[in-house]
Structure 1
Amino acid sequence: MKTIYNGFFTVVFALMATTAFAQGIITGTVIDAELNEPLPGANVVVKGTTTGVSTDFDGKFRIEVPQNSGTLVVSYIGFVKKEVRFTSTGDIGNIALQGDAEQLEGVVVVGTGVIDLVKDRQTPIAVSTIKASDIQKASGNAEFPTLLRSMPSVYANTSGGGYGDAQIRVRGFDQSNTAYLLNGQPINGMEDGNMYWSNWQGVRDVATAIQLQRGLGSSKLAISSVGGTMNIVTQSYNEKEKGFVEGAIANNNYIKSTAYYSTGKNENGWSSTYMLSYWEGDGNYFEGTEGKGLTYFLSFGYKPSDKHAFNLLITGAPQTHGQAYQNNIQAALTYGKDYNENWGYKNGKFYNERTNYYHKPVMNFNWDWNISDKSNLSTVAYASIGRGGGTGPLGYHSNKFDDNGQIDFDRIIATNRGLEPTEINGSNYLIGREIRNVEAGYITRASVNNHLWLGTVSNFNHKINDNLEFNVGFDYRFYKGKHYRMVTDFLGLDGWGVTNNGSVPGGYTVFKSYDINLFDPTFKNAKDTEKIGYDYSEQISYIGGFGQIEYKEDAFSAYIQGAISSQWHQRWDYFNYMLPNEQKSQKVNNGGFNLKGGLSYNIDEHHNVFANAGYYSRQPFHDNIYLNFTNDLNPLAENEKITGYELGYKFNSSVFSANLNGYYTVWDDRVEVRSTRLDLDNDGIDEDYFSRFAGLKQVHYGVEFDFMLRPLMTDQLGIYGFASLGNWKYGDNSIQTLVRQDNLEVVPGYDGETAYIDGVKVGEAAQTSFNLGANYKIIDEFSIDVDWYHYANVYAYIDPIRFTTPDQDVIKLPSYNLFRAGLSYTLPLKNTERQSFFFRFNVDNLFNTMYLQSLSTNIAPEDGVDNYKGINVNNRGTFGFGRQWSFSVRYNF
């Protein structure tokens, strides 16, 4: 018996000793496989137990395991869950999670040094990132800017009406004052800073991630963004063979077909990717906004060794779509909120006199050179050739609308055919001319914007030691633009007479019109004697240098960076001037600089605080340097001065993570030029004008809060949202000028007048907004996601005729709520590793809410005039899209 007891206790103590010995600690780091950045808040659980931890701000974790072999389950919302085997304790290194979009597995981002994506802890700024999985869910006809709606202080509206006409405002600043980068390449227009999303329709199909750095940002480029910096990262070097075909349908007869294939890396280090898509539809929402286009994408990558990585990207998206400008509210209430006054029928066929058409092929070459363990060089060289423009009316017709509010083109043609013939070289022709308020002809013309753009950005990074590193680099750009008008439809006339071309004093007649289909504008350009209205070209050169030094340790990081730049501008005008020496403007050179810095501190693994500040001296845009679209210099154009401060707090745990930011930005000495439509002569017909405000000062401050809740400590359920509270005002009065678009003449009485806007609210974006959303996996293959958005304190734009006397007030639009919902289902195919079907269904504006999203005039309520929710119906505004739906099926292989 004694022997039995001794044997029993020997076995027990041996098991206890073995168990005690087997217990240990495993450490590691969870990273985003696509961006090679840490994932804070990822969940790490020992399989088969309830033992789990979350990663800290650096993606690191430390977990106690009951034995020295087993499996860790690593998960994060928006990423594919991963199981990792371990056979011993200690550090198991990096665990890379793939975005929850199968076709993007194995993507390697080339050009990270110039793409400049921020690290969550080490960079002390307010930042939000959209992953590939969320981009993929935005199927169908969703506008690219709407992808950013779930980010704090972002307001995306669709006031342009047509496909690709949506706009983004960040912290109240418009698109010209947010820097947009495609794989490190600046893509804002060099003349006015604007973004035209219709030129980038296909980016969504190949984007790996979209990151928005709000405020001053951390970009090391010599650019001075006020609202923020958006980095769009596309696929480049693919290590695995993969592909997909997709079909999508949506409201208003929208269809889209996409084919994608990547060869994967071969034994020699080469990889190539191809994508082609075609779309067409009757319009996102507004009537008469038909569109069509295609997108092509080619990427060729080469990695000869771990030292070098090369990638050549070629992409373009030729498209054409009808546009819907702002109508007065009464017209929308009479004919429907989707009413568009720009279209009608010509010979029984649909015809929109305002159509956007453009093709902007882009070539982008990236080279990453890992010089050593401590040094690397990243360079991007790029080129783009833009061809296209927008159409519109030229001439006068007193009664062009029928009883349905549509343009009666047949009536216009009949009027044109009834003009007195003009004899030219012995033959009679029907020649139209522009004579104000006289029916002397009416045609459709195109305002052409052709350009050549070349540039390169290079960044050198050196790690001095484990705590200290620096970057230096340069940014060079060259731009040549060509602008003129040409005839696209004579509407029954034989020709159009030109009398305002200064280089041809006797005038001439244009007999040729040009098509605006997908490809003709790329290869066909009007000759000098076929141009009408205006003809001028511009040349802009830009060179900048930048540098940054960053210090980081376990709990603390800080950086300071600066940039200097110089811009050269020149203009050639062939319509306003007769002699060649007058046609060439004075060359203007402007210098600018910026300086910014910040620090970040990890209080512990859950709490982080940061602060940053910066000052910019930014050169004015080209369009603001020359006065009223002539070669005369604008004496009020000077460097804009921008000062910004920001404080932030971040909390992170396995269940809940949140960010709280406060910002204060002062923007002084700015000039703004924009298009507007007014009826100054009270003839019932609106004309097109350019309004220019000089000496503007804006003060923007506010707070932002966003969060992610994982109540089940898994990726099954995610609850997220944000709250943005802003106070954006003009800080001083301004000087305003009004110019007619048809002949670029200054309107009498609106030349250098004072605009009394001191203290007036900045308009066209919601100063208060909220979002609450959820993503729930019913099963691993089937999920549902919903969002609620609330927008309030949206104000009208300061139109140029309502603030000419003191004490004017800006109109406040009614607040509104929007809901959206989506369903995703993945059907894996048996006996295959990668093949699957992915189904996606989206509904935006679920309850078909009617809401005003923007207002361009400020007409106060009047006696005897109807109001819409307290707003005079004579105001020009845009109602938001009604219910939108889309359905897509993707086959991954």
Structure 2
Amino acid sequence: MIISDAQTRQPIAGTTVEWSNGQYQVTDASGKVPVNPIANGMTLSAIGYKGIQVPVSQLSDTIFLERFNLFLQPVEVKATRAGEKAPFARTNLSAKDIEKQNLGQDMTFLLNQTPSVVVNSDAGNGVGYTGIRIRGTDATRINMTLNGIPYNDAESQGMFLVNLPDFASSVSSIQVQRGVGTSSNGAGAFGATLNVSTNEFHEKAYGELNNSFGSFNTWKNTVKAGTGLIDGHFTLDARLSRIKSDGYIDRASSDLKSFFVSGAWLSEKSSVRLNVFSGKEKTYQAWNGIPEADLATCRTCNSAGTEKPGTPYDNETDNYQQDHYQLFFNHAFNDRLSLNAATFLTRGRGYYEQYKAGEDFAAYGLPYPVIGDSTIETTDLVRQLWLDNYFYGGIYSLQYKQKGTQLTFGGGYNRYDGNHYGNVIWAAVGVPQGYQWYNLDARKTDLNFYGKWQQQLGTRWQTFVDLQYRKVDYRIDGFRDNPTLFVNNTYNFFNPKLGINYSQGNWNAFASWSVGNKEPNRDDFEAGLTQQPEHETLYDWEIGVEQKFHRAAWSLNGYYMRYHNQLVLTGKVNDVGSYTRTNIPKSYRLGVELQGTIQPLTWLRLQANLNLSDNKVMDFTEYIDDYDEGKQVVNQYNKTDISFSPSVVGGYTISFMPFRQAEAAFIGKYVGRQYLDNTSNKSRSLDAFYVQDLRLSYTVKNLVFHDIALIVQVNNLFDKLYTPNGYTYSYIADRTTVTENYVYPMAGINWMAGVNIRL
């Protein structure tokens, strides 16, 4: 069966087909979808088209959709995403993919079954602070955009999704690009890209109540509503969410709140949309990890807050609020030329609070108090380390498309103004009330523009050229532990991407070469004036082939990612005695990614992916503190494994549909050994792990409400004790080398259950 445009008679790619028995599919570039023989009808929806319900009696070889006489296609998404024939490795997730597993865990955990992904959680249950790596690339090297607008923190370059609680409930689609990928706004993609879209159009009014409860007293409550199309031009959508959890690790609690509001005005040629959303988080700190030696006896122990005598300090918490304002304008001049422009403001402020015992007054710029005949050198105190920032700017893109030619010109400008300061809010002795011991500013500007040219050559070949220029200015007026170190650097990057695609029948193949450049993050600059880091460069070769059938599909992607001056931890101490990342001249990632989907029976579907890779650092230098001699010992290595880059990562989902509206899914994940540093020392590594989950769902339709979905998910079904993240350091004392590993264990068997009601 083919889904086509009623006016042009052309196939419609990306149409969501939801069958009456609860199964759903998305049409490919040819608009094809296999007929489901056990369903008695289907619902079709596609961006820019009127949704329809088709009973089984009206199914035919071709189904036509009528266009809306409104501008609905988000141009900002088309400008930054890889299209159906773009020569890059990618995975697309629809709102349906996200919805069926969205029970309260962070968005990173919703991506766990995409290829080459490894996720972790400080609290051990996927709520609160979480992390993600793609092909071994950590979050500071993954470019993330929200509707084309950059999200990564400008200074650390990390993705702190804890600041967007339950954002997945407002997401209409996600594209994960692996490798350098296409040009995007914001921090340069240096191994992967997450392109998240929320600008979905709802034709009809709706309301939803989503509630989940599970292990560790975890609650998720979400209310969503939308007006549908009002007077043929207006829509308004809103969401309010709350997530609370005690966490698996002791005291690793989370209290997360968020809202999302999106209003749009639509006409035949133009659209204006305003998004306002905010997240507020309070999490008890769990980022210290647990000594590996203590796992057997105290797997959930948390050292945060224990510097306080007696019971742990009850407010050793991280507190942050982030507000987002996004304004979009889209306009189609004609069928060939369209424009997108957007402006944004991200406002962030918050602090983390700590109880510190025995702190030296000199470290806070204070004189030693004298009480009687005694000079006091240390005190217990409670401090707050604040971050107060504004991130603002604009993006634009202009798209031209005619016959086999598609041109896109775009770019953006943003500025970050950040203020770092620290307050002592209580001290046992000797600190003035309301004392502030540092107040430092930072500014960063980022300008980029790009041009993309896709050209169809005949019926089978398509070429791709993507050229981006990016300029970064970074000024730092001192650091907390080094207030007199000032940094003022400018970077000029040229990031070209070239590729070719071949398609014939149900076959598609591609090859590409891309370059990515990335500036150091804030902490790297604290190395000192004599140890300033250089920028990193990545050369990425990708080649892939895929084949699609009605009931099956498979793909194989090979990649070679060669790094120049990659920044890694070596154990080297900087000018203020802290460990800093150091440029290493040569390193690489070489691997293959395999994916497959097959539905041999109407009630059985199998999906799997596998990454096999070789990830190496050439000529690595390690530095170890020698406390006996008061210096650092240097060790040389010829060829070692890149840290946190397992050679095997795989996942699978086996779905059974025993009867209409019911599904049972067995979900598995395997992650090979991960080294905590770059020495390939097995004593500094995390064991490989294999975990399995079970998800059961059942939907009741048109019984009081439009539908009621019941979902139960059992995570870590067989109670595997595993740790996906950690860190290590070594030192020499009493002429003995001592290695200390700290890890972040995940919970054993645990569960979540949800009830989703659509009014």
Query: TM-score scaled to structure 2, two decimals?
Result: 0.85
**Distance of aligned partners of 1:84 and 1:374 in 2 relative to their CA distance in 1, 3 Å threshold:** farther
**Distance of aligned partners of 1:86 and 1:468 in 2 relative to their CA distance in 1, 3 Å threshold:** farther
Q: Which residue of 2 aligns with 1:591?
A: 492
Q: Which residue of 1 aligns with 2:614?
A: 727
Q: Is the 8 A contact 2:607 2:654 kept in 1?
A: yes
Of 166, 182, 195, which residue of structure 2 is paired with 1:202?
166
Q: Which residue of 2 aligns with 1:880?
A: 746
Q: Which residue of 1 aligns with 2:113?
A: 150
Of 194, 197, 215, which residue of structure 2 is paired with 1:251?
215
Letter of the 1:593 counterpart: F
Q: Does 1:670 align with 2:566?
A: yes
Q: Is the partner of 1:784 in helix, strand or coil?
A: strand
Of 537, 555, 565, which residue of structure 1 is paired with 2:460?
555
**Distance of aligned partners of 1:816 and 1:306 in 2 relative to their CA distance in 1, 3 Å threshold:** same
1:443 positional shift:
2.2
Letter of the 1:591 counterpart: N
Q: Does 1:790 align with 2:670?
A: yes
Q: Does 1:609 align with 2:509?
A: yes
Letter of the 1:546 counterpart: Y
Q: Which residue of 1 aligns with 2:54?
A: 83
Q: Which residue of 2 aligns with 1:523?
A: none
Alignment of 1:149-548 (within 5 A): 149-159=112-122, 161=124, 163-221=127-185, 224-267=188-231, 269-283=233-247, 285-303=248-266, 305-324=267-286, 325-335=288-298, 337-343=299-305, 351-352=313-314, 354-396=316-358, 440-463=378-401, 465-490=402-427, 493=428, 496=431, 509=432, 511-512=433-434, 530-532=435-437, 534-548=438-452
1:117 positional shift:
3.1
Letter of the 1:381 counterpart: T
**Distance of aligned partners of 1:829 and 1:860 in 2 relative to their CA distance in 1, 3 Å threshold:** farther
Q: Is the partner of 1:330 in helix, strand or coil?
A: helix
Q: Which residue of 2 aligns with 1:684?
A: none
In structure 2, C-alpha distance between the alignment counterparts of 1:346 and 1:584, rounded to whole Å: 32
**Distance of aligned partners of 1:486 and 1:734 in 2 relative to their CA distance in 1, 3 Å threshold:** farther
Letter of the 2:564 counterpart: D
1:297 positional shift:
0.8
Q: Is the 8 A contact 1:215 1:226 kept in 2?
A: yes
Letter of the 1:251 counterpart: S
1:386 positional shift:
0.7
Q: Is the partner of 1:361 in helix, strand or coil?
A: strand
Letter of the 1:876 counterpart: Y
Q: Which residue of 2 aligns with 1:16?
A: none
In structure 2, C-alpha distance between the alignment counterparts of 1:347 and 1:43, rounded to whole Å: 59
Structure 1 gap ranges (5+): 1-25, 46-53, 65-70, 97-105, 399-419, 497-508, 513-529, 679-686, 739-746, 866-870
Q: Is the 8 A contact 1:660 1:704 kept in 2?
A: yes
Q: Which residue of 2 aligns with 1:857?
A: 728
Percent of aligned positions with the same letter in both sequences? 19
Q: Is the partner of 2:647 in helix, strand or coil?
A: strand
Q: Number of residues paired by the alignment?
A: 726
Q: Is the 8 A contact 1:107 1:239 kept in 2?
A: no
**Distance of aligned partners of 1:828 and 1:575 in 2 relative to their CA distance in 1, 3 Å threshold:** closer
1:329 positional shift:
1.5
1:828 positional shift:
1.7
Q: Is the partner of 2:319 in helix, strand or coil?
A: strand
**Distance of aligned partners of 1:546 and 1:115 in 2 relative to their CA distance in 1, 3 Å threshold:** closer
Q: Does 1:749 align with 2:631?
A: yes
In structure 2, C-alpha distance between the alignment counterparts of 1:872 and 1:778, rounded to whole Å: 56
- Single out whichever of 444-453 and 311-320 deviates more from structure 2: 444-453
Letter of the 2:449 counterpart: G
In structure 2, C-alpha distance between the alignment counterparts of 1:855 and 1:576, rounded to whole Å: 25
1:152 positional shift:
1.2
1:546 positional shift:
0.5
Of 674, 682, 690, which residue of structure 2 is paired with 1:817?
690
In structure 1, C-alpha distance between the alignment counterparts of 2:326 and 2:635, rounded to whole Å: 44
In structure 2, C-alpha distance between the alignment counterparts of 1:891 and 1:789, rounded to whole Å: 30
**Distance of aligned partners of 1:536 and 1:369 in 2 relative to their CA distance in 1, 3 Å threshold:** same
Q: Is the 8 A contact 2:82 2:181 kept in 1?
A: no
Q: Is the 8 A contact 1:777 1:784 kept in 2?
A: yes
In structure 1, C-alpha distance between the alignment counterparts of 2:105 and 2:115, rounded to whole Å: 19
In structure 2, C-alpha distance between the alignment counterparts of 1:263 and 1:72, rounded to whole Å: 26
In structure 2, C-alpha distance between the alignment counterparts of 1:291 and 1:447, rounded to whole Å: 19
In structure 1, C-alpha distance between the alignment counterparts of 2:393 and 2:613, rounded to whole Å: 36
Q: Is the 8 A contact 2:566 2:584 kept in 1?
A: yes
Query: TM-score scaled to structure 1, two decimals?
Result: 0.73
**Distance of aligned partners of 1:860 and 1:537 in 2 relative to their CA distance in 1, 3 Å threshold:** closer
In structure 2, C-alpha distance between the alignment counterparts of 1:777 and 1:87, rounded to whole Å: 24
Q: Which residue of 1 aligns with 2:31?
A: 60
Letter of the 2:476 counterpart: R
Q: Does 1:771 align with 2:733?
A: no
Structure 2 gap ranges (5+): 46-50, 361-367
Of 566, 572, 581, which residue of structure 1 is paired with 2:477?
572
Q: Which residue of 2 aligns with 1:694?
A: 583
1:852 positional shift:
2.9
**Distance of aligned partners of 1:86 and 1:281 in 2 relative to their CA distance in 1, 3 Å threshold:** closer
Q: Is the 8 A contact 1:644 1:665 kept in 2?
A: yes
1:447 positional shift:
2.0
Aligned-residue Cα RMSD (Å) equals 4.1
Greater strand content? 2
In structure 2, C-alpha distance between the alignment counterparts of 1:352 and 1:316, rounded to whole Å: 26
Q: Is the partner of 1:212 in helix, strand or coil?
A: strand
**Distance of aligned partners of 1:340 and 1:109 in 2 relative to their CA distance in 1, 3 Å threshold:** farther
In structure 2, C-alpha distance between the alignment counterparts of 1:30 and 1:857, rounded to whole Å: 57
**Distance of aligned partners of 1:125 and 1:281 in 2 relative to their CA distance in 1, 3 Å threshold:** same
In structure 1, C-alpha distance between the alignment counterparts of 2:646 and 2:693, rounded to whole Å: 18
In structure 2, C-alpha distance between the alignment counterparts of 1:288 and 1:55, rounded to whole Å: 43
Q: Which residue of 2 aligns with 1:130?
A: 93
Letter of the 1:816 counterpart: F
In structure 2, C-alpha distance between the alignment counterparts of 1:855 and 1:575, rounded to whole Å: 25
Q: Does 1:846 align with 2:733?
A: no
**Distance of aligned partners of 1:495 and 1:820 in 2 relative to their CA distance in 1, 3 Å threshold:** farther
**Distance of aligned partners of 1:132 and 1:191 in 2 relative to their CA distance in 1, 3 Å threshold:** same
1:608 positional shift:
1.2
1:75 positional shift:
9.1
**Distance of aligned partners of 1:267 and 1:673 in 2 relative to their CA distance in 1, 3 Å threshold:** farther
Q: Is the partner of 1:317 in helix, strand or coil?
A: strand
In structure 1, C-alpha distance between the alignment counterparts of 2:98 and 2:65, rounded to whole Å: 25
Q: Which residue of 1 aligns with 2:365?
A: none
Q: Which residue of 2 aligns with 1:19?
A: none
**Distance of aligned partners of 1:535 and 1:760 in 2 relative to their CA distance in 1, 3 Å threshold:** farther
In structure 2, C-alpha distance between the alignment counterparts of 1:260 and 1:42, rounded to whole Å: 23
Of 807, 829, 838, which residue of structure 1 is paired with 2:702?
829
Letter of the 2:553 counterpart: S
1:671 positional shift:
2.9
Q: Which residue of 1 aligns with 2:48?
A: none
**Distance of aligned partners of 1:574 and 1:556 in 2 relative to their CA distance in 1, 3 Å threshold:** closer
**Distance of aligned partners of 1:723 and 1:107 in 2 relative to their CA distance in 1, 3 Å threshold:** farther
In structure 2, C-alpha distance between the alignment counterparts of 1:565 and 1:370, rounded to whole Å: 27
Q: Is the 8 A contact 1:220 1:548 kept in 2?
A: no
